[in-house]
């Protein structure tokens, strides 16, 4: 499903920016995260990086698509 995988982030990007104000705000709760890496694999724009077992979302790259939240087994990614 290359078409869907390619267009959902694009459409989400435009819906996430309203009146010139960016409302993208996914963050990973470090206390909840178990470091499995599933979110990083699921992110369509590689916005999630790992450093010493700690996973973080680059807010400037994140498209607010929610794929990480849907993939995480413990619900650590949340919209702030």
* Contacting residues toward ligand SF4, per CB under 6 A: 26, 28, 33-39, 42-43, 45, 47-48, 55, 57, 62-68, 71-72, 74, 76-77
Q: Which is nearer to ligand SF4, 17 or 66 (CB)?
A: 66
- The distance of closest approach from Cβ of residue 7 to ligand SF4 in the complex, given in angstroms and rounded to an integer, is 14
Q: Which is nearer to ligand SF4, 19 or 46 (CB)?
A: 46
Q: Which is nearer to ligand SF4, 18 or 48 (CB)?
A: 48
The sign one gets for the Cα dihedral 29, 35, 36, 37 is positive
> How far is it between the farthest Cα atoms of the chain?
38
CA–CA separation, 51 and 13 (whole Å): 26
6 φ/ψ sector (left φ>0, alpha ψ -120 to 50, else beta) = alpha
- The distance of closest approach from Cβ of residue 43 to ligand SF4 in the complex, given in angstroms and rounded to an integer, is 3
């Amino acid at each position: 499903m290359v078409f869907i995988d390619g267009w959902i982030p694009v459409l989400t990007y435009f819906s996430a920016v309203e009146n010139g104000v960016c409302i993208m705000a996914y963050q990973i709760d470090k206390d909840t995260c178990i470091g499995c890496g599933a979110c990083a694999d699921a992110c369509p724009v590689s916005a999630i990086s790992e450093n010493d077992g700690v996973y973080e979302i680059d807010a400037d790259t994140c498209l607010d698509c929610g794929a990480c939240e849907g993939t995480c087994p413990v619900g650590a990614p949340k919209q702030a």
